[in-house]
Amino acid sequence: MDPECSQLLPALCAVLADPRQPMADDTCLEKLLDWFKTITEAGSSLLLLQENPCLVELLCHVLKPQDLSSRVLSFSLRLTGVFAAQEDCFQYLQGDSSLFVASAAGQLLVHILSLSMRGPAEGPPGLQADDWPACAQKIVGHIEESLRSTAAPQITQALNVLTTTFGHCHDPWTQVLWVQLHPLVAALLEKDPVPAAHSLVDLLLSVARSPGLSSSSCGLWETLAQTLSHLSPTQAGLLALGILKLQDCPQALRAQAFAVLLQPLACVLKATAQGPGPSGLLDSTSADSVTADILLPSKAACVGLLCRTLAHLELLLPLPQRPCPWPQAPLLGAAVTLLQLCGGSGSPASDEGRQLCTLLLGCVRVQRAALDFLGTLSQETGPPELVTQVFAVLLEYLRSPDSSPTVLKKAFQATFRWLLSSPRTPGCSDLDSHALLFLRELLPVLQKRLCSPCWEVRDSGLEFLTQMTRRWGGQAGFRHALLASEVPRLTEQLLRDPESYVRASAVTAMGQLSSQGLCVPPASPEHPGGQQKSLLGELLHILSTDSEGFPRRAVMQVFTQWLRDSHADVVGDTEQFVAGVLQVAGQDLDWEVRAQGLELALVFLEQTLGPPRSHCPYAVTPPVAAPASPLTQALQPLCRVRLFEFAFRALFDCDRPVAQKSCDLLLLLRAKMASSSSLQEPRSSPDVASVEAALQRWRAGDQAQPLGDLEPEVVLAVLRSMDLEGLRGALAESSDHVEKSPQSLLQDMLATVGILGENEADCY
């Protein structure tokens, strides 16, 4: 502990020990505790206590019966625990109104139990519960009593303590504990409704996951099965998901859990079945009336259950231990049916179906959840007729004027995923003929969406276009369909959209289209026959004039990508391009634009000097070979584009990420210099001195004076003389390291107490 803190500590301990000076905020106590933890982890706690007797005084003081606030008591006890484990009973703390205290009390109980069961040096206590230390028996007794209670909060606390216990302790005694408490837990299931269902689910899953318990011998599987059937469908879903995630679990239980999870969707399929035939999900689960009872009477319950079910199944799908066989077809059917019901295109024959239709019509939450789920289902394929239905319902959503912007966004995402998964001809990465047919229907919809009055819609349309172009931009079928549509031209027009997010997305989309040679020369009615601006010119214009940051950032990303890909517009005169972009980016007020400028500079640097020595031995060597010419000569292009002036300026940027990035770039360059054969002696010249002087002024905040044309030799000399490592170290310190210091925390706490005291004085 540094001396400044040691000086403040006695005053703070005095405040904590004084019941008349309440601590208003327990988060600072938590922070204080964290700090003590780091101190004790770093050094001897005994020494700490010896050096700071005020701490021992505080702990002794707390033990005396008095009106101390439970927060300070909890803090002191935990502090005691940090210094040395102390055994006592703190059960009464459990019910405290402070969340920290209640949770700490619970955790403390677990730790005490665990410590007491670890036992003294002569060995752990026997596995017979009667042989357990008194302290452990008392805690178990308390838990048992709580489990028998009729008050839900008490049961919840007991269950939470047990959940933590089984989560942290995996010694053999935990099995004894479970065997002992198991009947009480099972008894909770007899109650209707099951109390503290959520905590109960947590406990059972914690027990099931515990490696210390052999599940089969403790009746756990039976309890889980029983719980699954006792909990309401809304509560059972989480348990079912947890069971299905378990590695070793009886097949029957897994089947039961999966059935519980599928029930709501089975209900939907049953309610909307056109004919009497079974529809897949129904084979394994009976769409029982309980679920139907939950689904049908209220919209809120129905929507909540369906959304949770879809989210659970979505989580389950990518897991290796997901049920096998996976009912892909019925699940696809269910997702499509739900979307149809929500969109009003479903035509259920039964009364239940019609009722469901009325509940779900236009329900955005279910639409979003079902579209997400449908997208996830694209990892697997399905029967062709169902896949056709999937594309049909997606098109319906993309077309519908009633689709909300968020629903549309999800529909675009799901469509992209399904297009990705659509079967392709082997050896050809183009879209298959069905997908191309779909694309031909999709593009007019996309066209219309790009003209939507709602900017979110235009934005997600552009994102979708960018994704598609990135993936299929090189494929003949896609190119043909896209070029036959108005989409590229509309995208170009959106570069001038009034909404900055849309402009940014349009920039990204146009960059992508242009990279793939999919930009048509614009023939806008505004400039009939006039000289058309090139896209490069247009993007530079946005970079230098757009009032919002997002479009400018997007332009920088596009430019970086273009430089990386040797885009035709860039290759013509790369140096002029880089010089122009760096000049504009260097003056940008948005630090992300400046940071991206450094990224572009780095790409240029690598292209000029060759890439850094790769860490990966299998890295592909890029076409631009490292120059064999002397380093100074190689640096000439960098000097010509004024890369160094840009980088040096960035080095003293007021935004830390920019400075860090620039530092990294210059360090990289210096590493290059070191590795270069043409090492030259540092040359002390008036040039170098004046540059260094200018940099000193820049560092001090006066960046008015430009550096002017720099010679490679001067740059090298300046680089050698700079303490870049030191600068990097300073930049790595978080900017708020002063505010986060323990000294500051102690001062703050004392200051708050002072204010409280003053207020008190005012009152009297």
Partner 1 sequence: MKLYCLSGHPTLPCNVLKFKSTTIMLDCGLDMTSTLNFLPLPLVQSPRLSNLPGWSLKDGNAFLDKELKECSGHVFVDSVPEFCLPETELIDLSTVDVILISNYHCMMALPYITEHTGFTGTVYATEPTVQIGRLLMEELVNFIERVPKAQSASLWKNKDIQRLLPSPLKDAVEVSTWRRCYTMQEVNSALSKIQLVGYSQKIELFGAVQVTPLSSGYALGSSNWIIQSHYEKVSYVSGSSLLTTHPQPMDQASLKNSDVLILTGLTQIPTANPDGMVGEFCSNLALTVRNGGNVLVPCYPSGVIYDLLECLYQYIDSAGLSNIPFYFISPVANSSLEFSQIFAEWLCHNKQTKVYLPEPPFPHAELIQTNKLKHYPSLHGDFSSDFRQPCVVFTGHPSLRFGDVVHFMELWGKSSLNTVIFTEPDFSYLEALAPYQPLAMKCIYCPIDTRLNFIQVSKLLKEVQPLHVVCPEQYTQPPPAQSHRMDLMIDCQPPPMSYRRAEVLALPFKRRYEKIEIMPELADALVPMEIKPGISLATVSAVLHTKDNKHVLQPPPRPAQPSGGKKRKRASEDIPDCKVLKPLLSGSIPVEQFVQTLEKHGFSDIKVEDTAKGHIVLLQEAETLIQIEEDSTHIICDNDEMLRVRLRDLVLKFLQKF
Residues 6+ apart with CB under 8 A from 358: none
Taking the C-alpha atoms of residue 305 and residue 664, their distance in angstroms, rounded to an integer, is 51
By C-alpha distance, which of 447, 445, 453 is closest to 411? 445
For residues 89 and 445, which CB has a smaller minimum distance to partner 1 in the complex?
445
Taking the C-alpha atoms of residue 168 and residue 114, their distance in angstroms, rounded to an integer, is 9
Shortest spacing between CB 264 and partner 1, in angstroms: 21
Alpha carbon dihedral 39, 41, 45, 48, in 10-degree steps, equals -20
Shortest spacing between CB 503 and partner 1, in angstroms: 12
Shortest spacing between CB 355 and partner 1, in angstroms: 8
Shortest spacing between CB 364 and partner 1, in angstroms: 12
DSSP per-residue string spanning 33-72: HHHHHHHHHHS-HHHHHHH-HHHHHHHHHHHS-S---HHH
Applying CB under 8 A, among 107, 137, 475, 493 the residue interacting with partner 1 is: 493
Contact by Cβ (8 Å): 312, 373: no
Applying CB under 8 A, among 361, 520, 639, 724 the residue interacting with partner 1 is: 361
Applying CB under 8 A, among 254, 322, 354, 470 the residue interacting with partner 1 is: 354
For residues 191 and 299, which CB has a smaller minimum distance to partner 1 in the complex?
299
600 exposure class (CB count in 10 Å sphere: 0-12, 13-18, 19+): buried
- Give, as ranges, the residues between 434 and 453 that touch partner 1 (CB under 8 A): 447-449, 451-453
Taking the C-alpha atoms of residue 156 and residue 333, their distance in angstroms, rounded to an integer, is 39
State the distance between the two ends of the chain, measured CA to CA, in whole angstroms. 39
Shortest spacing between CB 186 and partner 1, in angstroms: 44
Taking the C-alpha atoms of residue 500 and residue 537, their distance in angstroms, rounded to an integer, is 19
CA-derived radius of gyration, the chain: 34
- Select the span of 48-56, 58-66, 484-492, 639-647 touching partner 1 (CB under 8 A): 484-492
- Select the span of 221-229, 340-348, 602-610, 644-652 touching partner 1 (CB under 8 A): 340-348
Applying CB under 8 A, among 106, 333, 353, 637 the residue interacting with partner 1 is: 353
Shortest spacing between CB 349 and partner 1, in angstroms: 7
Tokens of 97: 């109104």
For residues 117 and 342, which CB has a smaller minimum distance to partner 1 in the complex?
342
DSSP per-residue string spanning 427-455: T--SPPHHHHHHHHHHHHHHHHHHT-SSH
Contact by Cβ (8 Å): 603, 564: yes
In angstroms, what CA-CA distances link 577 with 495, 552, 600?
A: 20, 16, 11
Tokens of 427: 């050896």
Shortest spacing between CB 403 and partner 1, in angstroms: 8
Shortest spacing between CB 535 and partner 1, in angstroms: 17
Shortest spacing between CB 473 and partner 1, in angstroms: 23
Residues contacting partner 1: total by CB under 8 A: 32
Applying CB under 8 A, among 31, 182, 209, 489 the residue interacting with partner 1 is: 489
DSSP per-residue string spanning 100-158: HHHHHHHHHHHHHHHHHHH--TT-PPPSSGGGS-HHHHHHHHHHHHHHH-S-HHHHHHH
Contact by Cβ (8 Å): 377, 326: no
Applying CB under 8 A, among 454, 679, 693, 751 the residue interacting with partner 1 is: 454
Applying CB under 8 A, among 7, 86, 347, 675 the residue interacting with partner 1 is: 347
From residue 180 to residue 219, what is the string marking binding to partner 1 with x (rule CB under 8 A)? ----------------------------------------
Shortest spacing between CB 589 and partner 1, in angstroms: 25
- Give, as ranges, the residues between 628 and 647 that touch partner 1 (CB under 8 A): none
User: Considering Cα of 405, then 410, then 413, then 418, what sign does the dihedral take?
Assistant: negative
Shortest spacing between CB 348 and partner 1, in angstroms: 6
Taking the C-alpha atoms of residue 139 and residue 111, their distance in angstroms, rounded to an integer, is 11
Shortest spacing between CB 453 and partner 1, in angstroms: 4
For residues 449 and 649, which CB has a smaller minimum distance to partner 1 in the complex?
449
Single-letter amino acid, residue 7: Q
Taking the C-alpha atoms of residue 219 and residue 445, their distance in angstroms, rounded to an integer, is 58
Applying CB under 8 A, among 237, 323, 348, 551 the residue interacting with partner 1 is: 348
For residues 249 and 356, which CB has a smaller minimum distance to partner 1 in the complex?
356
- Select the span of 58-66, 495-503, 677-685, 733-741 touching partner 1 (CB under 8 A): 495-503
Contact by Cβ (8 Å): 503, 494: yes
Single-letter amino acid, residue 601: A
For residues 359 and 717, which CB has a smaller minimum distance to partner 1 in the complex?
359
Tokens of 607: 């292209």
Shortest spacing between CB 5 and partner 1, in angstroms: 58
Shortest spacing between CB 407 and partner 1, in angstroms: 11
For residues 353 and 637, which CB has a smaller minimum distance to partner 1 in the complex?
353
Taking the C-alpha atoms of residue 345 and residue 353, their distance in angstroms, rounded to an integer, is 12
Neighbours of 427 (CB within 10 A): 5
Shortest spacing between CB 401 and partner 1, in angstroms: 3
Exposure string for 185-222, b = 16+ CB within 10 A, e = fewer: beebbeeeebbbbebbbbbbbbbbbbeebebeebebbe
For residues 486 and 590, which CB has a smaller minimum distance to partner 1 in the complex?
486
By C-alpha distance, which of 250, 242, 244, 248 is closest to 201? 242
By C-alpha distance, which of 379, 220, 371 is closest to 307? 371
Taking the C-alpha atoms of residue 398 and residue 393, their distance in angstroms, rounded to an integer, is 9
Angle at which helices 574-586 and 591-609 cross, to 10°: 150
- Give, as ranges, the residues between 391 and 430 that touch partner 1 (CB under 8 A): 400-403
Taking the C-alpha atoms of residue 4 and residue 2, their distance in angstroms, rounded to an integer, is 6
Applying CB under 8 A, among 344, 549, 580, 611 the residue interacting with partner 1 is: 344
- 568 scored as a contact of partner 1 (CB under 8 A): no
Contact by Cβ (8 Å): 643, 601: yes
Taking the C-alpha atoms of residue 465 and residue 457, their distance in angstroms, rounded to an integer, is 12
- Select the span of 42-50, 90-98, 348-356, 729-737 touching partner 1 (CB under 8 A): 348-356
From residue 496 to residue 535, what is the string marking binding to partner 1 with x (rule CB under 8 A)? xxxx-------------------------xx---------
Taking the C-alpha atoms of residue 398 and residue 408, their distance in angstroms, rounded to an integer, is 6
For residues 195 and 461, which CB has a smaller minimum distance to partner 1 in the complex?
461
- Select the span of 78-86, 357-365, 642-650, 752-760 touching partner 1 (CB under 8 A): 357-365
Shortest spacing between CB 179 and partner 1, in angstroms: 55
Taking the C-alpha atoms of residue 750 and residue 18, their distance in angstroms, rounded to an integer, is 13
Secondary structure class of 677 (helix, strand, coil): coil
Instruction: Enumerate binding residues for partner 1 (CB under 8 A).
Output: 344, 346-349, 353-355, 357-358, 361, 400-403, 447-449, 451-454, 486, 489-490, 493, 496-499, 525-526
